[in-house]
Chains A and B, each alone.
With several copies, the nearest count.
Chain A
Amino acid sequence: MVQGITGRDGGFHASKMRDYGTRIVGGTSPGKGGTTHDGFNVYNTVVETVKETGADTTIIFVPAPFVKDAIMEAADGGIKLIIVITEGVPTLDFIAARHYATALGARIIGPNCPGLISPGKSLVGIMPGNIFTPGRTGVISRSGTLTYEVVYNLTLAGIGQSTAVGIGGDPVSGLYFIDLLQMFQGDPETDSIVMIGEIGGDAEERAAAYIKEHVTKPVFSFIAGQSAPADKRMGHAGAIISSGTGTAKEKIAALEAAGVTVLNEPADIPAKIKAVV
């Protein structure tokens, strides 16, 4: 289901996802329940949508000030996977909503993310489906268009993707590198993993430690922001080098020490994957 289905972005991407083959059972728009929008059934509340359609996954497009309530509503309604596309969500809002959703057994991807896609199967996000192709490489990324760039290069080189997940560019997010590395490691349809990181935080360093211990599939990486200055937010709220930590250099060193192949150019990734897998 889609929360905010009558909004500009929600409506547009609902159609795109349907075109890609995703089963979109409807969406919410408070006060517009009972109507239809572009062929989708519109409901007032999540609980009503779930009751009528049995939805178990939601994608949220509502404006940033309402995302906290939307996430909590989804979790309360019994939704188990919540994908938050909206950008600009206040951090304390997300922290609270995530805490609530986690207590109710729901998982979150995002906010400020492009969603996820299993090429040829389903798209729950805003990614351009046509640049993806089915295959056996898993992709995890903090970024949007940079992911597309990488995936496009993979697709052109004949390397398909099992699943690609944009985990979002905010400092605090739902599922993150380690969660998804674990899933890809356990996924029989994935042979290799591409991990696209960027400056800010130490999630890549933590991922490196996790890879060293638990991941046997080959991992390839690109870290954006090698030339970024300190203390400046590079677009993403999470992409900031603060107090000298969160630099690309540290991340690359950690990943390489964990046996990850870190590339200088996104375009070099396909050849390296071909050489190994």
Chain B
Amino acid sequence: MKIHEYQGKELFDRMGVPTAKGKVCRSVEEVLSAYEELGLKKAVVKAQVLTGGRGKAGGIKIGENREEVAAAAKAILGMEIKGLLVDRVMVAEAVEIASEYYFSFAVDRNSKSVVMILSREGGVEIEEVAAKTPEKIEKIPIFPFVGIPDFLAKKAAAILFDDWKLVMQGKVMIQNLYKLMVETDASLVEVNPLVVTKDGRLIALDAKLNFDDNALFRQPEIESLFEPDEEEKREQEAKANGFSFVHLGGEIGCMVNGAGLAMATMDLIKLYGGKPANFLDIGGSSNPRKVIEAMKLLLSDKDVKVVLINIFGGITRCDDVARGLITAFNEIKTDIPIVIRLTGTNEKEGRKLLEGTPFHSAETMGDAIKKAVALV
């Protein structure tokens, strides 16, 4: 789960991590009153959208005075960045930057731990730095029970700064950011750029936070920050039904049990020249209720011209699955052609049950997909 920069900034503020003073606004008027209220002179107006590359897209502008700031806000509000509408901006003090750094905590799959990532190359995308000059990035794994003792925070800060006063400021910031990471079950806490101002202050100029979806059950406050877009709302609804759903925009609606098999199904549709409408993992079992809910979800997508059901019957046998499907489709009446492929335990018995129904039955995955593509 991702949140906006201004929400991250609020979490930083609360945790005592220094940020530039600023405020989120939804209109030019709000921007101007925030500009007055905060007593700003040179100010920056930043689009609040959940994607990177805002700067390149023109979503970050600086204004030297009230008029320029108003113009910047007017230009940014309402623009689209990577398909996302900018409906709010943050107006903030434009600090005088002496130097820029990169700092983050991230979950690292390989070391199977949280790692602290630091670089003196700040303000640019870290992936670029990693690709071009990997020697300029330091990674420090964190022992989960130990956390960040003073020495470790100082050692890390000393990677970024030569001046000991900055090291000591950095130490406190690092410990507070780690605390934030752990207390909110974040999977990423990124400050890019972390800057030193011309008057020697350390400031987190950006605040990017991702959270672990698996931990939201114990993070109600974090969960409440989530602002799903239309697609994400559908994904959430699906999740409430025990599904994993991602809209893809094609014409063949898929219903599969298991994430890996669902991905493979999408892949093969593409391989055979079709366009998958979605990723849909209906999970372990495949009782009629679930199938009905899943069909409703698929049919709510008006682009869907064919539905492909690919179920591996393991512990739940194929004949039981077939009976469930028949029950479900007795309830849902639809004209959309449905291809069903059942495989695994008792697959022959399952297929036999589907004989004489309006469903298109298939033996192999390839076979089923070919049929589905042909039916579009």
Question: Residues on A close to B: CB < 8 A?
Answer: 16, 30-31, 33, 44-48, 64-65, 68-70, 72-73, 76, 88-93, 95-96, 98-100, 126-128, 130-131, 141-149, 152, 169-173, 196, 198-199, 201-203, 206, 222, 224-229, 232-239, 243-245, 248, 264-267
In the bound complex, residues from chain B placing their C-beta under 8 Å from that of A237 are 213-214
With contacts A69-B149, A227-B276, A267-B366 known, is A33 near B164, CB below 8 A? yes
- Tell me the minimal C-beta distance from B87 to chain A in angstroms: 20
Size class of the contact patch on chain B: 35 or more
Closest 8 CB pairs of A and B: A143-B260, A235-B259, A145-B258, A146-B260, A128-B314, A73-B151, A90-B215, A224-B263
Name the contact of A236 in the complex, choosing from B113, B218, B260 (C-beta under 8 A): B260
Contact in complex: A90, B218 (CB < 8 Å)? yes
- Tell me the minimal C-beta distance from A117 to chain B in angstroms: 12
Contact in complex: B267, A227 (CB < 8 Å)? yes
Contact in complex: A99, B143 (CB < 8 Å)? yes
Contact in complex: B260, A45 (CB < 8 Å)? no
- Tell me the minimal C-beta distance from B362 to chain A in angstroms: 12
Task: Answer whether residue B375 sits at the interface, using C-beta atoms and an 8 A cutoff.
Answer: no
Name the contact of B212 in the complex, choosing from A16, A91, A127 (C-beta under 8 A): A91
Task: Answer whether residue B343 sits at the interface, using C-beta atoms and an 8 A cutoff.
Answer: yes
Contact in complex: A224, B260 (CB < 8 Å)? yes
In the bound complex, residues from chain B placing their C-beta under 8 Å from that of A72 are 149, 151-152
Task: Answer whether residue B112 sits at the interface, using C-beta atoms and an 8 A cutoff.
Answer: yes
* A–B Cβ pairs within 8 angstroms, 10 of them: A76-B152, A91-B185, A131-B345, A141-B260, A145-B256, A145-B261, A145-B314, A149-B365, A233-B246, A243-B125
Task: Answer whether residue B257 sits at the interface, using C-beta atoms and an 8 A cutoff.
Answer: yes
Contact in complex: B244, A234 (CB < 8 Å)? yes
Given A145-B257, A229-B246, A245-B127, 8 extra CB contacts under 8 A: A45-B155, A91-B215, A143-B263, A145-B260, A224-B267, A233-B213, A235-B279, A236-B260
Contact in complex: A228, B263 (CB < 8 Å)? yes
Contact in complex: B246, A130 (CB < 8 Å)? no
Q: Beta-carbon contacts of B101-127 to A below 8 Å, as 1s and 0s?
A: 000000101101110000000000101
Residue of B nearest to A28 (CB): B151
Docked CA distance A69–B155 (Å): 12
In the bound complex, residues from chain A placing their C-beta under 8 Å from that of B220 are none
Contact in complex: A234, B263 (CB < 8 Å)? yes
Residue of A nearest to B219 (CB): A90
In the bound complex, residues from chain A placing their C-beta under 8 Å from that of B154 are 30, 44-45
In the bound complex, residues from chain B placing their C-beta under 8 Å from that of A239 are 259, 263
In the bound complex, residues from chain A placing their C-beta under 8 Å from that of B213 are 233, 237
In the bound complex, residues from chain A placing their C-beta under 8 Å from that of B366 are 265, 267
A-B contact count (CB 8 A): 210
Name the contact of B344 in the complex, choosing from A68, A76, A148 (C-beta under 8 A): A148
Contact in complex: B261, A267 (CB < 8 Å)? no
Contact in complex: B343, A149 (CB < 8 Å)? yes
Contact in complex: A149, B261 (CB < 8 Å)? yes
Contact in complex: A266, B315 (CB < 8 Å)? no
Contact in complex: A128, B315 (CB < 8 Å)? yes
Contact in complex: B262, A235 (CB < 8 Å)? yes
Contact in complex: A100, B146 (CB < 8 Å)? yes
Docked CA distance A170–B212 (Å): 11
Contact in complex: B109, A172 (CB < 8 Å)? yes
In the bound complex, residues from chain A placing their C-beta under 8 Å from that of B266 are 225, 227-228
In the bound complex, residues from chain A placing their C-beta under 8 Å from that of B315 are 16, 126, 128
With contacts A47-B155, A91-B107 known, is A31 near B146, CB below 8 A? no
In the bound complex, residues from chain B placing their C-beta under 8 Å from that of A146 are 258, 260-261, 263-264
Contact in complex: B127, A243 (CB < 8 Å)? yes
Docked CA distance A202–B145 (Å): 26
Name the contact of B271 in the complex, choosing from A128, A206, A264 (C-beta under 8 A): A264
Name the contact of A229 in the complex, choosing from B212, B248, B269, B343 (C-beta under 8 A): B248
With contacts A143-B260, A145-B312 known, is A226 near B270, CB below 8 A? yes
Docked CA distance A222–B281 (Å): 19
In the bound complex, residues from chain B placing their C-beta under 8 Å from that of A144 are 258-261
Contact in complex: A95, B113 (CB < 8 Å)? yes
Contact in complex: B107, A171 (CB < 8 Å)? yes
Docked CA distance A131–B343 (Å): 10
